[in-house]
Amino acid sequence: MLKKLTTALLACAIGLPAAGAFAADDYSGHTLVVGVWGGDIERLLRENVADPIEEETGASVEFVLGGTGDRMARIYAEKDNPTMDVAFLNMYEAPQALSDGIVSSPDPESGMYKAIWDGMNNGCYAMSLVGLGIAYNKNIVPEAPEWSDMWDPEYSGMIAVAQYPGSEGDGLIGIAARLAGADEHDPDVAFEKLQGLKPIAMTYTNLDEIFAMMDAGEVAMAPMISGYVLSALKEHPDIGFSFPSDPGPVLVRDMLCLVKDSPEPELAKMFAEKALGVENQTDYAEQIFFGPTNSMVELSEEASADVIDTPEEVESLVQLDWPYVIEQRSDWTQRWNKELLEQ
Amino acid sequence: MNKRALMLLLPALILSGIVFLLPFLWLFVTSFRVQGEGSLLMAEGFSAANYARLVSDSYFAEVFFRTMWMSAAATVISLVIALPMARQIAVSAGRAKGLLLALILVPLVSGALLPTLGMLHLLGPLGVINSILKDFGLTTKSVKFLGTVPGVIIGLVQAFLPLMLLPLVNALSRLPKDVEAAAETLGAPTHIVWRRVILPLVAPGIIAGSVLVFCASLTSFVTPQILGQGKIATFGTMAYQQASLVLDWPFASAVAVVMLAILALGLAVGSLALKLLARRPA
C-alpha cells in the first residue's frame, strides 16, 4: 500500500509540472490580432508565422489588413483597452507610438533584438529594409533615371506621386531639397524645387493604378518604394525600377511593434520571433525584395543584388531626419496640396 | 405624443442616440481639442484653434467653395438628366415601370465603391470613352477625365442620380394625366406645358431630389478620392487626409463638424422651401 502511495505521489510530482507546462503552451480559444499590409506580405506572414503558431499553440491568428494610418488610428483609439497585439508600422511612426506609450519598447535582452543589426530597433523591432527609388516606363525613359531626370522638361506633366503624407512624399521632399543644395530642414527650398515637377500627372494610392497609367504611357516616372515595385515588375515588362545614385535612394524601414498591454503578449512575442526569424526574413528578401534586418540571414548573390541587406548599404542611402519630418507633417501636407498639387 | 407612440419610437431613438448622437457629440467635443506638443495624443483642455485654422487659411476656403460648387453642378446636371427619365418611367405601365425602378435602385444599393471603380474604367485613359473617341478619330491622345473637376462631377452625377430620380418619379406619378391633356387641348406647346404645368406641380419632388443629391455630393468621399486621383480636394477627402494620413483627429473632427453643419443648413433650406410650396395658393 505504502509502495503504491509513494508511486502515486512520485507520479504526481513528475506529472504536475509537465501538465503545467502543457497548459502554458496551450492557447486554444485565444486569438492573436495582427495589423499588417495585405498582399504578399500577408501571404508570407501567414505561411511562415501564423500557420506554425496556430499549429504549435492551438491559438488562432487574425490579420487585420490595411495601411499604417488605419492601424495607428486603431491602436491610439484603443490606448486604454487594446484589442490589437502586433502592429506593423512605418519607421517614422514607431518612435512616435513608443513615446506616446502605445507600443512596448523593444527588449534589448531578447534574442530577436540582438539578432537585428545594431541601431535599427528604433521604437519597435526593425522588420525590413527598402529604398525609395524611381519606377519608370522604359519606352519613354530609355535609361535608368537619376532623380534629376524627373525635372527634365521632356517629361513635364508625366510625373506621378503617391498620396501625401507618406514615406514616398517625405522622401521626395528630402530629395528635392538635396538637389537644390539643402536638406529637409529647409522646406522652402524643397517646395520651390518641387514646383518644377508640376503639373503632376496623378496621385496614386495603389500599384495597379500607377502601373496601368505607366503602361498606358500617361506617366513616365514615379518615386516608389523598391520592394513592392520589384516584386510586381514581372507582370509589367515595360516598367523598370531605378535606384538613383546622386543622391542615393531614401531608406525606408518597416517596423514590427508589440502593442502595450495587449490581450495576448506571449503570442505576440512568439509572432515577433518567427516574423523576425531567418526563415521569414529570407523569404521576404527572395520573394518580395524586402531586405532583411536579421544579421544571421545569408542571401544568395542574386537575391542580395536586389535588396538592401547590410549596414554598409544602409549607410549609403539617404536617411531623413524623421522626427523633424513628422513634426512638419501637418504644415507640409498643406504645402503639398497647395504648392505641388495646386488644389 | 401619447405613451404608445413613444414606446414605438423608443427603439429607433435609442439606436439613433447610440450610433449617431453620441458619436456626433464626441466628434464635436474632439473638434475643440488639440494634440500635445510632439504627440499624436490629445492634450488637456479645450480650444477653438482648429476652427481658427479653418477660417484663417485661404486653402480651406478654396476647398469649401470648390466642394459647394461641384455639389451644386452635380445637382443641376442630375436634375436635367433625371426629369425626362422620370417622366418616361412615370408614364410607363406595369412591369416596365417596375423594371425601370429596379434599374434605378441597383446602383443605389450596390454602394459607392463598385460603381466608382466602374467609372474609373469608363473614364480612364484606356477606358471605353477614350477608346470610342479614338476609334472615331476625334482625338489621338487620351482626354483627361480622371484627376479633373469635370471627371469628379460626372462621377457624382452617376453615383447620386437615383436620389434625384426617385422623388421625381414619385411626384410625376401622382400628376393627374388629364391636367397635361387639358393644357394641350387649350393649345399650349410642349415646352409651355412643362414650364407652366408639370414643373410647378412636381416642384416638391425637385426640391427633395436636389437636397438629397446636393447633400450626398457635399459629403462624398469615395467618388472624389478615386476619380479625383488625389488632385481634387473636397471636404470629404480633406477630412480623410487629416484623420487617416496626418492623424490629426481634432482638426479632422472640426472639418467634419463644419461639413455636418452645412449639411444641416442644406436640409433646413430644403425643408423651408417645401413648407413654402405647400402654403402657396392652388
Give the domain CATH number at A217: 3.40.190.10
Asked if residue B170 is part of any domain, the answer here is: yes
Summarize pLDDT for B13-64 with one digit per residue, the tens. 999 999 999 999 999 999 999 988 888 888 889 999 999 999 998 888 999 9
pLDDT at A295: 92
Q: Are residues A47 and A31 in the same domain?
A: yes
Q: Are residues A217 and A332 in the same domain?
A: yes
Cβ–Cβ below 8 Å for A69 and B245? yes
Summarize pLDDT for B98-108 with one digit per residue, the tens. 898 888 888 88
Question: Do the Cβ atoms of A76 and A240 come closer than 8 Å?
Answer: no
- Residues in chain A within 8 Å Cβ distance of B38: 99, 327
- Residues in chain A within 8 Å Cβ distance of B241: 163, 333, 337
Q: Are residues A262 and A291 in the same domain?
A: yes
One-letter-per-residue 3-state SS of B114-174 = HHHHHHHHHHCCCCHHHHHHHHCCCCCCCCCCCCCHHHHHHHHHHHHHHHHHHHHHHHHHC
B191-229 burial, b for 16+ CB within 10 Å, e for fewer? Answer: eebbeebbeebbebbbbbbbbbbbbbbbbbebbbbbbbb
Q: Averaged over B112-116, what is the pLDDT?
A: 85
Cβ–Cβ below 8 Å for A76 and B142? no
Q: Are residues A177 and A297 in the same domain?
A: no
Would you call B59 helix, strand, or coil by DSSP? helix
Asked if residue A2 is part of any domain, the answer here is: no
Strands A60-65 and A31-36: parallel
> Nearest residue of B to residue A214 by CA position?
B125
> Nearest residue of B to residue A338 by CA position?
B59
- Residues in chain B within 8 Å Cβ distance of A100: 39-41
Dmax over CA atoms of chain B, in Å, equals 77
Question: Do the Cβ atoms of B260 and B215 come closer than 8 Å?
Answer: no
Number of separate domains in chain A? 2
Asked if residue B39 is part of any domain, the answer here is: no
A149: closest CA among A229, A240, A252?
A240
CATH of the domain at B165: 1.10.3720.10
Q: Are residues A261 and A203 in the same domain?
A: no
DSSP state, B31?
T
Asked if residue B92 is part of any domain, the answer here is: yes
- Residues in chain B within 8 Å Cβ distance of A213: 125
pLDDT band at residue B197, thresholds of 50, 70 and 90?
A: confident
Asked if residue B109 is part of any domain, the answer here is: yes
Summarize pLDDT for B177-192 with one digit per residue, the tens. 788 888 888 888 888 9
Residue with cell 506621378: A160
pLDDT at B214: 95
> Which residues lie across from A239 on neighbouring strands?
A137
Q: Are residues A207 and A324 in the same domain?
A: yes
Asked if residue B13 is part of any domain, the answer here is: no
Asked if residue A1 is part of any domain, the answer here is: no
| Per-chain mean pLDDT for chain B | 90
Asked if residue B118 is part of any domain, the answer here is: yes
- Residues in chain A within 8 Å Cβ distance of B243: 73
Question: Do the Cβ atoms of A115 and A276 come closer than 8 Å?
Answer: yes
Q: Are residues A169 and A195 in the same domain?
A: yes
Structural domain for B139, as ranges = 48-279
Structural domain for A156, as ranges = 129-251+319-340
One-letter-per-residue 3-state SS of A127-186 = EEEEEEEEEEECCCCCCCCCHHHHHCHHHCCCEEEECCCCHHHHHHHHHHHHHCCCCCCC
Identify the residue among B231, B237, B242, B255 best suited for mutation to test binding to A, counting A beta carbons within 10 A and taking the highest: B231
- Residues in chain B within 8 Å Cβ distance of A99: 38-39
Q: Which of A164, A165, A334 sits opposite B59 (nearest CB)?
A: A334
A311 half-sphere exposure, CB direction, 13 A CA radius: 9
Summarize pLDDT for B251-282 with one digit per residue, the tens. 999 999 999 999 899 899 988 988 888 777 65
Q: Are residues A118 and A171 in the same domain?
A: no
Q: Are residues A247 and A281 in the same domain?
A: no
Number of separate domains in chain B? 1
pLDDT at A3: 47
Cβ–Cβ below 8 Å for A200 and B247? no
Cβ–Cβ below 8 Å for A218 and B232? no
> Nearest residue of A to residue B40 by CA position?
A100
* Run means of pLDDT, 10 residues per run, chain A, 343 residues: 45 41 69 94 96 96 91 92 96 91 96 92 94 96 96 95 91 96 96 95 86 90 90 89 92 94 96 97 94 93 86 86 86 91 80
Identify the residue among B247, B248, B251, B253 best suited for mutation to test binding to A, counting A beta carbons within 10 A and taking the highest: B247
> Nearest residue of A to residue B251 by CA position?
A330
Give the integer Cα–Cα distance in Å for A310 and A66.
29
pLDDT band at residue B1, thresholds of 50, 70 and 90?
A: low
Q: Are residues A210 and A153 in the same domain?
A: yes
Q: Are residues A157 and A123 in the same domain?
A: no
CA distance A300 to chain B (A): 37
Give the integer Cα–Cα distance in Å for A33 and A97.
18
Asked if residue B26 is part of any domain, the answer here is: no
Identify the residue among A210, A321, A337, A341 best suited for mutation to test binding to B, counting B beta carbons within 10 A and taking the highest: A337
pLDDT at A8: 46
CA distance A166 to chain B (A): 7
Burial of residue B18, with CB atoms counted within 10 A of its CB: 0-12 exposed, 13-18 middle, 19 or more buried: exposed
- Residues in chain B within 8 Å Cβ distance of A337: 59, 233, 241
All three cell numbers of A158 = 508625366
